[in-house]
Homo-oligomer: A and B are copies of this chain.
Amino acid sequence: MKKLTLQDIASQLNISKATVSIVLNGHGDEKRVSKATQERIIQFAREKNYRANHLARGLSLGRSDTIGLIVPNIGDIYFARIARRIESKARRSGYNVVYSSSGESGERESELIHTMLSRGVDGLIIASSQKNREEILKLKEIRFPFVLIDRFYPEIETNFVVEDNKGGAAQATKQLLKTGRKRIGFVTLKDDLEVLHQRLEGYRHTMQQNGIPVEDNWVGKLDYEYAESDMLEQIRTLVSAPAKLDGIVFATHFLAASGMRALKELQVRIPEDIALVSFGQMSAFDLTEPPVTSVAQPLDELGDRAVEILLENLGGGITDHRREILNNRLEIRKSCGTI
């Protein structure tokens, strides 16, 4: 069963490819193809279950009604959720979405961008590894429509939709301060990611504002591919002298989860001995013991806005960049202690 082509239809109906194409693309009336011919074509196509070849169509049109989405890791629930949202939203505007993971590698990200371009995507939504400045600049230079999400390059003028990392971390820190903690630490990754810097900055800034000098040993940094044992070590250091923290803000949901594991293993009581807040959520954070206070990230809004902005750009004509910073909301539960 060979795929049916336009030419096949044309031959079998004894009309030209051109007419068939016009009719099947809904331009029949406007191009004054006779009702009868239109009817025959449509009927035949439906009957034979004709499907246009996207490859050929894209090649000819230079357009594919497809947008590409590149994320660091689709296996991370955060990006998976955003991806899903983007997909539904885009679909409602008639766009398909193809996604891929860069694995936090700048090189891979660059490769993916090229693959997607050469596949003829009309636009790109990228949660960048931030190790790929060159390629982003190039995209900008050729005026290819794209929107950065979650991660962006502060010094490059682009469209972006991000959350208020600094503000979120500030909220988290303030909450711990409110419950009477003073020796509050921050656990993050060593990675050079702007979002992490900003979260750290939000924490530092808040501490400073409240007259508490943050000591170097209050901030723990782990490798991206840390083992649970690394976390255990880190936590052990943070809870014992000289740091002797009484509160911790975790920079990501998975850091918070493994941090809790470590705390439990060390038999540190939460929130009595150590209060904690997670930046980012996990679906069971309300079921843990204690339930985890977390900074809820505006996933849906982020996905929606990214698509909206991209579509604006695809429409063409837009020249200035959209730079949106979405608020996140603190979900207060028991882990941060009570006021």
Contact = CB atoms under 8 A, between A and B. Distances in A.
A117 B55 contact: no
A260 interface: yes
Interface string A252-296: 001001001100100000000000000000111111110000000
A51 B111 CA distance: 10
A77 interface: yes
Contacts of A114: 51
Contacts of A286: 261
Interface residues of A, number: 51
Interface in A55-112: 55-56, 58-59, 64, 73-77, 80-81, 83-85, 87-88, 96-101, 103
B101 A100 contact: no
Contacts of A264: 287
Contacts of A208: none
A241 interface: no
Contacts of A283: 77, 254, 257, 282, 284
A58 B58 CA distance: 11
A214 to B, nearest CB: 28
A118 interface: yes
A54 B96 contact: no
A118 B254 CA distance: 39
Interface of A: 1, 3, 51-56, 58-59, 64, 73-77, 80-81, 83-85, 87-88, 96-101, 103, 114-115, 117-120, 141-142, 254, 257, 260-261, 264, 282-289
8 contacts: A1-B142, A3-B117, A56-B59, A96-B100, A260-B287, A282-B283, A284-B285, A287-B288
